[in-house]
Copies of this chain bind each other. A is one copy, B any other.
Amino acid sequence: MARNTQVPADTTAPPITSILARFVAGHASRGWSDAVDHEAHRTFYNWLGCAIGAAQHEAADAALSAVQMLQPAPQATVLGRTERVDMASAALVNGITSHTFDFDDTHLKTIIHPAGPVASAVLALAEHLGSSGREVLDALVLGIDVACRIGNVMYPDHYDRGWHITGSTGMLGAAAGCARLLKLNEQQTAMALGIAASQPVGLREQFGTMTKPFHPGGAARAGLMSALLASKGFTASPRALEAPRGFVQVASDKRAWHEVTDELGERFEISFNTYKPFACGIVIHPSIDACVQLRDQGVTPDQVKTIELRVHSLVLELTGKKEPKDGLQGKFSVYHGCAVGLIHGRAAEEEFSDAVVNDPAVVALRNKVHATVDDSIAEEAAHVTAVLLDGRRVEVRVEHAIGSMQNPLTDAQLEAKFGSLVAPVLGEAKARAITAACRSLALAPDVRALTALGRP
């Protein structure tokens, strides 16, 4: 029977399942530069903050209630909560919370949020095994490399079709990371990837519902179980990724196989990971960044007559809500973003609470923001001018917002973000203790010291 409108089957694909399995099983521990290893620390730390920060969200409550119907054994920590559950369920719930605020990391080449599936699976398994911090970091780097390279093979076609690529490549990254942690050999690792290949998780239609953050959680769970199955001799096709009826060809018309092999073991995709400074869609980030800079230059809300904002048309198309009524609507209002940037100097999850969105001071300043479309300004840029009551004009031009590849968050900024997420849940002392533990993660003999800190 014909394949209809799909592109023809490619029978000449290289054996990428085996190639990736050999790489994951055989690459040396810390076989990369200091910069890559530092990025792995940052990726892990940012993911941990996001997961702890959303620990009390209603999505976490609902997921945990469902998991508890299985009467799970207390093998692994639900980050930010007192409950412990079996490691597969911990991978699921931590994967959900890490993506609940849409505040996690982004591999901009594919818009994959790689830590959600990979770190959630790896840490849950590592806690059960008593793995070292070094082993966790190795698994994280290699797992993210697998997920993002497969993403590179298929993006954008795979995403355009409607797959939520984070969960539909994440099961492979999670399987790879867990296979590494379990010290599976090349053959077993290929089986783990193969079993995972049959379990993509994620449709873009789910955006705006709890099933969106379910995707990285479900992928984490599927990948972890795939590695456990492979460790017990369960079999899969050794060509599960590349065969004509394997995952890549079934799920994408773009099949850039070379993305798997190009500089494999030399270039690491985790190097291209970025961290959001603001808890909202990336298109508002330059405007918020500019308003934070105005504040840093001494501009205060009471001095302001108007804020003149010039942005690309896409910004208003996606986030042009003038009078947001609650926190969620606030995330789609560039006006609100500018107001909290100038008043609070930040736009973390707290600034998108119902209370802040309805705060009279915020509402008053929001009404002073006037936006103009100017398509000569790039999508990732913004020009903001504060017109003050005394007649002065203070102008800030942002070409690449903070948090972009060109202007990454500093470690100090990442720590501030972490504190804003973790302190409300676990307190400031624990936030500081976890920060210290994450800095020295590579030296930790057993990650259970860290996961213990992750509980109230």
A contacts, CB < 8 Å to B: 1-7, 58-59, 61-63, 65-66, 69-73, 75, 86-88, 156-157, 159-164, 167, 194-195, 197-206, 208-211, 214-215, 218, 222, 225, 228-229, 231-237, 239-240, 243-247, 249-250, 253-254
- Chain B positions within 8 Å of A240 at CB level: 203, 205-206, 211
A156 CB, nearest partner CB in chain B, Å: 5
Shortest beta-carbon distance from A8 to chain B in Å: 10
Taking CB atoms, residues of chain B closer than 8 Å to A161 are 3, 6, 250
When chains A and B are docked, how far (Å) is the Cα of A6 from the Cα of B161? 8
How far is A71 from B74 in the complex, measured between Cα atoms in Å? 9
Partner of A65, one of B7, B157, B209, B232: B232
Q: What are 27 sample pairs from A and B whose C-beta atoms fall under 8 A apart?
A: A1-B159, A3-B161, A4-B253, A5-B5, A5-B7, A6-B161, A58-B233, A61-B233, A63-B232, A65-B233, A66-B229, A66-B231, A69-B228, A70-B75, A70-B86, A162-B250, A194-B206, A194-B211, A198-B201, A198-B211, A199-B199, A203-B245, A205-B239, A205-B244, A205-B247, A209-B236, A211-B234
A235 and B211 contacting across the interface, CB-CB below 8 Å: yes
With CB as the reference atom, state the residue of chain B lying closest to A225. B66
CB of A111 to closest CB in B, whole Å: 11
Q: How far is the CA of A247 from the CA of B204 in the complex (A)?
A: 9
Q: How far is the CA of A173 from the CA of B232 in the complex (A)?
A: 29
Instruction: Contacts A5-B7, A160-B4, A199-B199 given; indicate if A237 touches B209 (C-beta within 8 A).
Output: yes
Q: Chain B CB within 10 Å — which of A62, A70, A215, A246 has the most? A: A70
Given A198-B202, A204-B245, 20 further pairs, Cβ under 8 A: A1-B156, A4-B160, A6-B6, A6-B253, A61-B232, A66-B228, A69-B228, A72-B73, A163-B250, A198-B218, A199-B199, A199-B218, A200-B200, A203-B245, A205-B240, A205-B243, A205-B246, A208-B237, A209-B237, A211-B237
